[in-house]
């Protein structure tokens, strides 16, 4: 696992966007060989989406041959509901880039047969050759996608009851009314995430410092599903200074030292131009 420690959320956004852009440029996607990008919602990726939109507007990257798969969606919210992840993705990302609508995949939380919908989603991911890079955030209790504490570490896409903690945390998007937050969601599994070729997880802020601790220093446990990333061959945690508050000083210094040459954002941006 690589851990990149940066000053703040502006820097984690830039670093993650430049990394995604670099992987896309290196891959040279075509209609026959599309780049398959897994995407999250939540407040964490918002700045990364802005940076990716900037790179698109600057003509550095294109989403023409990119297929996306979102990690989750609430059950029972239609795509035009402002709190649905369909709506979120359109408003914060898709409407600003040249992605083809048919290349966008988000679990259908309105499906009458949720189990069949989850199977369809897994099959679709498989049919395009799997996910090249999954971008992720993390919940305060360490959940990745909606894989709440206690989720099987080999789980696949399925419906999942949300915990009270998550409902409470997400109620900020629902007028702070826990009653309005859906209690069920469709989510890719931990196993689905682990199958992707690379996972980038952004962790910002004090509230996430325990999740960062369990992800980096804790043992692998179903109670902190972020810890499953330790089993992935290419997992990268992009963490801001506030989120590392619970790490040992020794761990902090170790990652600061070994990654010191890889955090120059200007250099990363310049490198993107060399792919032209
Ligand atoms: C939700 C999403 C997760 C996300 C988490 C954290 O529970 N299902 O994918 O990582 O929220 O959200 P935020 O980035 O707003 O803190």
pLDDT tens-digit readout, 47-74: 999 999 999 999 999 999 999 999 999 9
- Of all residues in the chain, the percent with pLDDT exceeding 70 is 100
Ligand 1 center–CA 111 separation, angstroms: 22
Q: Predicted confidence band at 276 (pLDDT cuts at 50, 70, 90)? A: confident
Please indicate whether residue 146, judged by its CB atom, sits closer than 6 Å to ligand 1: yes
pTM reported for the whole predicted model: 0.96
User: For 91-145, how does the pLDDT look when each residue is reduced to its tens digit (9 = 90+)?
Assistant: 999 999 999 999 999 999 999 999 999 999 999 999 999 999 999 999 999 999 9
CB-CB neighbours of 76 under 10 Å = 13
By alpha-carbon position, which residue is closest to atom 12 of ligand 1?
Answer: 42
Average pLDDT, the chain: 97
Buried b (16+ CB within 10 A) or exposed e, 156-195: bbbbbebbeebbebbeeeeeeeeeebbeebbbbbbbbbbb
Residues 6+ apart with CB under 8 A from 261: none
Short-list 75, 74, 89, CA closest to 38: 89
Which of 38-52, 106-120, 162-176, 178-192 is predicted least confidently?
A: 162-176
Cα 186 to the center of its chain, rounded Å: 15
Q: Whole-angstrom Cα distance, residue 152 to residue 132?
A: 23
User: For 144-161, how does the pLDDT look when each residue is reduced to its tens digit (9 = 90+)?
Assistant: 999 999 999 999 999 999
- The per-residue DSSP string of 68-116 comes to EEESEEETT--TTSTTSHHHHHHHHTGGGS---GGGEE---TT-SSHHH
Q: Whole-angstrom Cα distance, residue 16 to residue 249?
A: 24
From 148, 195, 198, 240, active-site residue: 148
**Token pair 């896409």: residue:** 157
Residue 141 among the catalytic residues: yes
Q: Is the pLDDT of residue 219 over 90?
A: yes
């Amino acid at each position: 696992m690589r851990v990149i420690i940066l000053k703040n959320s502006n820097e984690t956004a830039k670093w993650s966007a430049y990394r995604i852009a670099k992987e896309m440029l290196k891959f040279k996607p075509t209609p026959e060989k599309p780049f398959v990008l897994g995407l999250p919602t939540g407040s964490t990726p918002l700045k990364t989406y802005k940076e990716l939109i900037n790179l698109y507007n600057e003509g550095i990257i294109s989403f023409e041959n990119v297929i996306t798969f979102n990690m989750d969606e609430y059950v029972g919210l239609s795509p035009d509901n402002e709190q649905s992840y369909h709506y979120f993705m359109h408003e914060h990302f898709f409407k600003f880039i040249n992605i083809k609508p048919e290349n966008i995949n988000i679990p259908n939380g309105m499906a009458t047969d949720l189990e069949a919908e989850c199977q369809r989603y897994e099959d679709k991911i498989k049919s395009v050759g799997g996910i090249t890079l999954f971008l992720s955030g993390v919940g305060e209790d360490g959940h990745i996608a909606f894989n709440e504490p206690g989720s099987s570490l080999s789980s696949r896409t399925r419906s999942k009851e949300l915990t009270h903690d998550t409902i409470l945390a997400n109620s900020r998007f629902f007028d702070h009314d826990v009653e309005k937050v859906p209690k069920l969601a469709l989510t890719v599994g931990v196993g689905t995430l682990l199958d992707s070729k690379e996972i980038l997880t952004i962790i910002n802020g004090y509230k996430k410092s325990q999740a960062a601790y369990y992800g980096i220093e804790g043992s692998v446990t179903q109670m902190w599903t972020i810890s499953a990333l330790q089993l992935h061959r290419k997992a990268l945690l992009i963490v801001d200074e506030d989120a590392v508050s619970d790490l040992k000083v020794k761990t902090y210094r170790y990652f600061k030292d070994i990654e010191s040459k890889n955090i120059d954002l200007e250099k990363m941006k310049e490198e993107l131009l060399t792919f032209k």
